[in-house]
Amino acid sequence: MNVENKIELLQADITKIIADAIVNAANTSLLGGGGVDGAIHRAGGPEILEECRKIVARQGGGKTGEAVITNAGRLPAKYVIHTVGPVWNDGKYHEEEKLANCYKNSLQLAVDNNCKTIAFPNISTGIYRFPKDGAAKIAVDMVKDFLSKTDKIEKVVFVCFDDENYGLYEALLN
């Protein structure tokens, strides 16, 4: 199937999405926070945090650009993939490469866990202040590149929350 046909765009709350995996824009503590992270832990309940704590006990916190996987508690998704986006700092600290790694490593972790459908929020574009236009382009480019190299993922959903992100993705995908 054509790579474009495997990509879907929605304006929605990612905690409501039915998919094998939804991605969380976490921080290095992996123990929750505000934004989409707060929403996921609130809606998913304590089971997610419990598994996050075990991961932290085993490996320490998360590194920027990397991803870990947990159960999804009460959410309709099967798994939550927690990835740590970069904090935007004028682009002087390899933020673009780190953001691309978030998408790549989350997709790879999905494949490793037999997930065929995965939903992404707009990582780093909230509290971490990554410019939305640049972030959208990196997300779309990395997902297309990944999908062109594997047929294990059947659907990637970009779940935008705010109008600005939705408009940017709409322009990039159409």
Kindly state the smallest distance separating residue 148's Cβ from ligand AR6, in Å. 26
Footprint on residues 51-110 left by ligand AR6 (CB under 6 A)? 85
* 163 among known catalytic residues: no
Among 19, 27, 157, 158, binds ligand AR6 (CB under 6 A): 27
Long-range contact pairs involving 142-149 (C-beta distance under 8 Å, separation at least 24) = 142/100, 142/103, 142/104, 142/107, 143/7, 143/103, 143/107, 144/3, 144/4, 144/7, 146/103, 146/104, 146/107, 146/108, 147/3, 147/6, 147/7, 148/3
**By CB under 6 A, residue 48 contacts ligand AR6:** no
- Taking the complex as a whole, how short is the minimal distance between the CB of residue 164 and ligand AR6, in angstroms? 8
Please answer whether residues 123 and 64 qualify as being in contact, where contact means their C-beta atoms are separated by less than 8 angstroms.
no
Stretch that binds ligand AR6, among 55-63, 72-80, 125-133, 145-153 (CB under 6 A): 125-133
124 binds ligand AR6 (CB under 6 A): yes
Q: Is 165 in the site for ligand AR6 (CB under 6 A)?
A: yes
